Structure 1
């Protein structure tokens, strides 16, 4: 069996050279051959507020550039705007030559050639699609149309919609059994997963979700299990991937539980789960569901995907504008790569680029990024890499045992910013307001920015738009304001419970 030389070189772990490779990484079957990390591979991240897709070479964890699918605000407010908006979901073809990218705001699926980074086609579907993936045989592309009640089934050659699979409201994400027999579709509005026969598009089973809001799910390469996350209540559930699709386990994973994916390595088969409210990755065995690791990462981890040999997983940090690489044998972070604004889905595509330029020692030769063939049709980060960060702390002395603070990112759009707060540590299912206060302790006049209700885990993702960075980071005392979170509504605000940290 082949040896994991790429991992040995990149991490300097010479003792690993004696270990054999392990087979079959998600979304493929366990019988598939592993693909060692190389310069032919690419890691893609869909970036929601810069409307970009970042392209990273995992062999040296280097950002090659971004594919710009749309413009930042306010250009995308125009009635004549033709770019994509809120770039979010992602999947890839079985031959690894086509990347499919969902943009929620423009109701689109953009198909990109992985070898050239060129857009091949854009298909427009129904309201607010969320995720997209090819069936294992490559004959269909399924798009969950979360703002409506169906999966749009596209032809992968013509890119046109050929049929719809009608489901309950809010289908959020789909993945397939490794053998291609079943499609599993979770919901963001109705607490049930539909199991669909890929052959005839009939619903052959349903699985109860513990809550209505499932953002992501993953099937194990051995074909035995499906893991899915529940963002609103901070739990992860597992069910048998085969009839009668029995629920196997419910895990308490924490506030803003985001995505899950599966890794097979020399130590076994594991589920890696991003928990945004705790800024960590939790790792569980799939045989006995025991937690084996908790990996601290940056702010608001979201999408996650394994390398083609399972030696690493890559995680998008939504409120840190970074891609984090984790060695799965040590469960330690080995790299943080700057990327675009608010990464959502992440996809690791092995052998995405069939031809790359290498020097005599097998490494990439050095030349300017802008002229590099590997960066063909890519752009530099530019404004997509500009962001300011603010933390929110409890009013008064911090409570004993408090693990996390609300993180706030201000994604630059020019003179204005998109504000995103990952609010945690609040009362469940209560109304709150993100506001500006006159004084650093939260006292004085409050100016509301956005009202929100927390989920059952006491957390929420909150957005606002405006020249907020200039106000909350001003050096002029008369114009300086401070971010606060207070209970109440936009018209009736209570006393702040969280304030901007120094």
Structure 2
């Protein structure tokens, strides 16, 4: 009898040991949480701002299950009586893994979705241009950073109604919580300051200096020791002590358009995965000495990043490739890329999201959301037989034309230019930029010499020469629309 009890105890302990060790715990949970092996019950969700969809992916075979359509594409969503969501962007989930919180920037909303059925349970409207939403570790509250204003909207975790506001520096970008639920960390997208707030009484108890104003993303390590955040404007990543006095531990250059960061714990240690949009890479850093452990090429404009429940994989949304990439964290190699909706932003991995059934209710096919054309821009080197410029850059400026039906949304992830300078995206008569320019959008580069440029129109037909339209070529010129300077980037083959 004693032997039987001992055997049962050993078996129970083995069941709690994941492939990378016992009680590894993955963000946003605590290190004491058991690992949850990858299964068909898990789901990876991506928030897609131009198709206004949430794509749902099965991580076992990295297959798209379907999309939750929260809104329509352009120009339908321009109507004054439109009721759908616009610019689906941010994402979080409840501690019990039963509820997804999806932020839509354009319609100022947080949509709460049942993970088991994909049904919308509630929509809460908050202030101007919310960015991210996440449940507190006890599930009692949902904090929403209202980036267009100067506060965090606090919603009730059950009714989803707003119950209070926490005033913070203008432009709060994202919030995440310490694993023990004591602190909330809120970085800013408009001011160079991150604040630390006590969850119990909503009081600011700490201030952390950001190297620059534009922080889009923040993550806490499961051991409760560190907080990492990215700075998209300067291409940097900072780390600070998760406990008082919240001292900065490290600040480092990570690369242009440093987007999101998340934490993985496995047999090799604890690591921060940072998506570098301007280099089309994910960089992996050790959390003990902050050394660079790996650089992983993934595809155009990596954005959101989230680990599986056992830390064996990391998932990355590719904003300018409409793809979801899976990375094996022990080898740091890409093992799969699957199609999703247009311009994925935040992503989350939710273990046991579908406890029973096939989880396909209320899902639709990609449809027009899966249609996109891709181009690249770079310094002109030679002109090939097709008349298009050719040349090999490590990470040329990527261009995506997201089909909206009659028109497209154009998104250009510009890299390799002079910092803090005015430029013009335009159409040229010739592949080398010669002839009169037709301006599309004027923009200013950030301190890292990068920019994200958007426009709408029937642009694909023009740059491809479709439907008997005279072909023109995308170029970037220095200067302003009323006085363009020399051509600095041209459309590549």
TM range (shorter): over 0.9
Correspondences of 1:294-443 after superposition (within 5 Å): 294-356=295-357, 373-396=358-381, 402-443=393-434
Correspondences of 1:125-274 after superposition (within 5 Å): 125-274=126-275
Q: Which residue of 2 aligns with 1:460?
A: 451
Q: Runs (4+) of structure 1 moved beyond 3 Å?
A: 1-6, 19-22, 396-402, 475-478
> Alignment partner of 1:389: what SS?
strand
Q: CA offset at residue 403 of structure 1?
A: 2.3
Q: CA offset at residue 307 of structure 1?
A: 0.3
In structure 2, relative to structure 1, the CA distance for the partners of 1:325 and 1:478 (3 Å cut) is closer
Q: Name the count of aligned residue pairs.
A: 475
Separation (CA, whole Å) in 2 of partners of 1:332 and 1:207? 34
Separation (CA, whole Å) in 1 of partners of 2:453 and 2:173? 20
Separation (CA, whole Å) in 1 of partners of 2:199 and 2:360? 37
Q: Which residue of 1 aligns with 2:476?
A: 485
> Alignment partner of 2:368: what SS?
helix
In structure 2, relative to structure 1, the CA distance for the partners of 1:294 and 1:399 (3 Å cut) is farther
> Alignment partner of 2:480: what SS?
coil
8 Å CA contact 1:2, 1:20 repeated in 2: no
Q: CA offset at residue 158 of structure 1?
A: 1.4
8 Å CA contact 1:394, 1:498 repeated in 2: yes
Q: Does 1:106 align with 2:102?
A: no
> Alignment partner of 1:494: what SS?
strand
Q: CA offset at residue 494 of structure 1?
A: 1.4
Separation (CA, whole Å) in 1 of partners of 2:236 and 2:381? 30
Q: CA offset at residue 2 of structure 1?
A: 4.2
8 Å CA contact 2:258, 2:276 repeated in 1: yes
8 Å CA contact 1:3, 1:20 repeated in 2: no
Pairing partner for 2:485 from 481, 494, 501: 494
Q: CA offset at residue 5 of structure 1?
A: 11
Separation (CA, whole Å) in 1 of partners of 2:341 and 2:381? 35
Structure 2: give runs of 5+ residues left out of the alignment.
Answer: 1-12, 383-388
Separation (CA, whole Å) in 2 of partners of 1:297 and 1:318? 11
8 Å CA contact 2:188, 2:216 repeated in 1: yes
In structure 2, relative to structure 1, the CA distance for the partners of 1:474 and 1:21 (3 Å cut) is farther
Q: Which residue of 1 aligns with 2:44?
A: 43
Q: Does 1:472 align with 2:463?
A: yes
RMSD between aligned residues: 1.7
Separation (CA, whole Å) in 1 of partners of 2:106 and 2:257? 22
Separation (CA, whole Å) in 2 of partners of 1:324 and 1:22? 26
Q: CA offset at residue 401 of structure 1?
A: 9.6
Q: CA offset at residue 60 of structure 1?
A: 1.4
Separation (CA, whole Å) in 2 of partners of 1:40 and 1:401? 42
Q: Deviations over 1:7-52 (max 9, x none)?
A: xxxxxxxxxx7x6455110000000011000011000000000000
Structure 1: give runs of 5+ residues left out of the alignment.
Answer: 7-16, 357-372
Q: CA offset at residue 61 of structure 1?
A: 0.9
Separation (CA, whole Å) in 2 of partners of 1:287 and 1:114? 35
8 Å CA contact 2:118, 2:359 repeated in 1: no
Q: CA offset at residue 400 of structure 1?
A: 11
Q: Deviations over 1:314-363 (max 9, x none)?
A: 0000000000000000000011010000000000000111113xxxxxxx
8 Å CA contact 1:274, 1:303 repeated in 2: yes
8 Å CA contact 1:5, 1:36 repeated in 2: no
Separation (CA, whole Å) in 2 of partners of 1:325 and 1:496? 38
Separation (CA, whole Å) in 1 of partners of 2:279 and 2:201? 41
Q: CA offset at residue 159 of structure 1?
A: 1.2
Separation (CA, whole Å) in 2 of partners of 1:317 and 1:306? 15
- Pick which of 377-386 and 482-491 moved more: 482-491
In structure 2, relative to structure 1, the CA distance for the partners of 1:441 and 1:340 (3 Å cut) is same
